[in-house]
Amino acid sequence: VVIDLSKALAKSGEPRLAATLLSRAWVELYRSGEFAKQAKAMEATMHSISRLDHSDVDRGGMDLKRPDGHEADSQPVDLRPLAPIDRHAEVISRFEALADGDEFVLVNDHDPKPLYYQLKAEYDKVFDWDYLRDGPEEWIVKITMSPDQESPGNQESPDK
């Protein structure tokens, strides 16, 4: 029902609302333990919905420096060799380890925007999501934990 409702919302011109609804349902499903089969369908739907969100995005450049001018601390997390079902878990693990001001860069073979919605729905942390490369064959996103800890409901979409 949630998947069908999310698809209908996305098709009616509300892809952000659809992705937020689906992400929150994904989180509740994850917490319930009834996860694997339903989560796979939800993740596939989140990916298709994110393609409908055509808002503007700061496409930036391929700058792997932190705001203080130093190079990023770690190697990018390349999700491409991982099985699709393992990719979200890898990003969540990295995200949970971030302290205020820490960051990591992820590389994927498609737009990882569904991960943005999932992180926003699941965590009470404020983070920056910056596209360093925006396809068509490779997407690179820098995720930085913000020192201002507000509710994720106050965050804007990465506008892509």
Q: What are phi and psi of 30, to 5 degrees?
A: -60, -45
- What CATH number labels 57-160? 3.30.110.40
Residues whose CB is less than 8 angstroms from the CB of residue 79 and which lie 6 or more positions away in sequence, other chains included: 87, 90, 91, 106, 107, 108, 109, 112
pTM score, whole prediction: 0.57
Q: What does the pLDDT look like over 105-150, one tens digit per residue?
A: 999 999 998 888 888 888 878 899 999 999 889 999 999 998 865 5
CA dihedral sign of residues 58, 62, 64, 67: negative
pLDDT at 117: 86
**Which part of the chain is CATH 3.30.110.40?**
57-160
